[in-house]
Structure 1
């Protein structure tokens, strides 16, 4: 169970207790951490061989932010396969998360562990009644420049503390609010964004028609908006452009199909809307750090 840590002066801080198993992943520098009331931030520099994997379970909610501009060679997901390669993740308490390394390259990540008992109170002011609902839903974002910038500032405070606890606490709370503010009840729609029903119609169309080219005009029509307003509203809601989101869904479907042995790589490329096998290979390697053939070997 999570518990307190004594700190100078006799006050107590939260200590996370996470069960972890890794195979082929190792730290390349000592783990650095900083703790204050209700939160622990730890900074890891690690690397893994191709095919390395692990799983992690914590009794408390946490945020993971991969640092650096390059594509990350490690993916996280709620199940052993079908990995999401987002750079920012919120992981609810008690949810097992799997990791999978696709390229033998170092990576750095900041983990924020929050005391479960106090996190809803911590968020209630910024999220209102959405706070409790948001804490039950995992979130994987393919990128968020503001969160990544704030995480970099917090990582610097972990490496070399320059301010009192108010600064890292403010950074951690802002990061958490930015992530969880994107989720919640059906009534919670970002200003200028899509309604849940509009977003569902658009993503349903994407998934149904992944085998062919989809135009922005078709996606906008599904949402009932003009092309220019749709592009703005989609980015405000999802955090990326319709084209990038569609590509991410194509890659995810390709991953799923590659885990089976019934289709050739060329057939997978055709089924997921790529011009040819070479086109899929380039896009797949950019997104995951591995070729489709390497991914198939890793997951079958």
Structure 2
């Protein structure tokens, strides 16, 4: 069943000025809000999932006061200096805006079950139960802005780009530590053969990590590390390598054009293939093909 944060909110004096933009990745759902706020605007929020709120942009005098209680005796003001707050699941908060203006913010809703499957005990789950108002982390903010950009204006890059940004943010947020070298054994031959066969049959499309992990009957985190221990490459790199090998075969043996080979192997266009080809082969498909004929 797809992850949904099931957030309950009651907002007054806040009007969206652009359509909501959102995207979902394994472990995280992101939504970007661009709103106009009246003086005295306020709201109440509670979610069944922990979330990270990031103030991306605001008029110079428009800040948000956040409160743990509706009486507002204890409050923290979010601004460009401290634009983030983390709210655990089930914790209600209240907001208040004293001056009118425009705000743009990003909500990152976390899927705890998916995070556990992906990172295991390396993800600092107890931290998700601690409220943290008004803080800043340059790494998280930089990655969050890239995630927001992918929500509002998705790039034509391979899906690995967005997956990598999200993985980086989750790694920082959960303080995921590096595993000790040699601590992970590889996949059993039966599991490895099933996974490799599935990749060979479907390598012309992006295969989700969860899909491969399900075939192996393992969690995403365990599968990813076990696959790398077996093959020397992470699953997504192995998949891309297989696609590039297929492209080379189509160009050399079948005489396809570069654009036709790109479309036949699941790339969005020729430039998409060229970027990926260059990463693996150090040259463009056309240059590689010319070198074969010399």
TM-score, normalised by the number of residues in structure 2: 0.51
Gaps of 5+ in 2: 177-294
Shift of residue 164 of structure 1? 4.1
Q: How far has the Cα of 1:123 moved from its partner?
A: 4.8
Cα drift, residue 77 of structure 1: 3.0
1: CA distance, partners of 2:152 / 2:91: 28
Q: Counterpart of 1:99 in 2: which secondary structure?
A: strand
Matched, 1:157 2:150: yes
Offset of residue 71 of structure 1: 6.5
**Cα deviation, residue 157, structure 1:** 0.7
- Are residues 76 and 21 of structure 1, via their aligned partners in 2, closer, same or farther at CA, if it must alter by over 3 Å? same
> What's the counterpart of residue 94 of structure 2?
98
Distance change >3 Å, CA 158–CA 19, structure 1 → 2: same
Which residue number in structure 2 is paired with residue 22 of structure 1? 11
2:64 aligned partner: 74
Q: What's 2:189 paired with? A: none
Cα distance 1:62–1:123, how it changes in 2: closer, same or farther (>3 A)? farther
Aligned to 2:108: 112
1:137 corresponds in structure 2 to: 130
Contact kept, 8 Å, 1:139 with 1:179, in 2: the verdict is no
Q: 1:68: how far off?
A: 3.0
Q: What secondary structure is seen at the aligned counterpart in 2 of 1:154?
A: helix
Residue pairs, 1:178-217, within 5 angstroms: 178-181=172-175
Is the contact between residue 85 and residue 142 of structure 1 (CA under 8 Å) also seen in structure 2?
no
Give the number of equivalent residue pairs. 168
Residues 136-173 of structure 1: per-residue CA shift (max 9 Å, x gap)? 10122333333222211111111111134433333234
Q: TM-score, normalised by structure 1?
A: 0.50
Does residue 37 of structure 2 align to residue 43 of structure 1?
no
Cα deviation 1:54-88 (Å, max 9, x = unaligned):
01111111111111385652122322212212311
CA–CA separation in structure 2 for the residues paired with 1:72 and 1:102 = 8
Conservation of the 8 A alpha-carbon contact between 2:25 and 2:166: no
The 1-side partners of 2:77 and 2:120 are apart by 29
Alignment of 1:150-299 (within 5 A): 150-162=143-155, 163-181=157-175
Kept in 1, the 8 Å contact 2:147–2:165? The answer is: yes
2:61 and 2:145 map into 1 onto residues whose CA distance is: 16
> 1:126 touches 1:177 (CA, 8 Å); kept in 2?
no
Kept after mapping to 2: 8 A contact 1:61/1:92: yes
CA radius of gyration, larger in: 2
- Residue 115 of structure 1 deviates from its aligned partner by 1.6
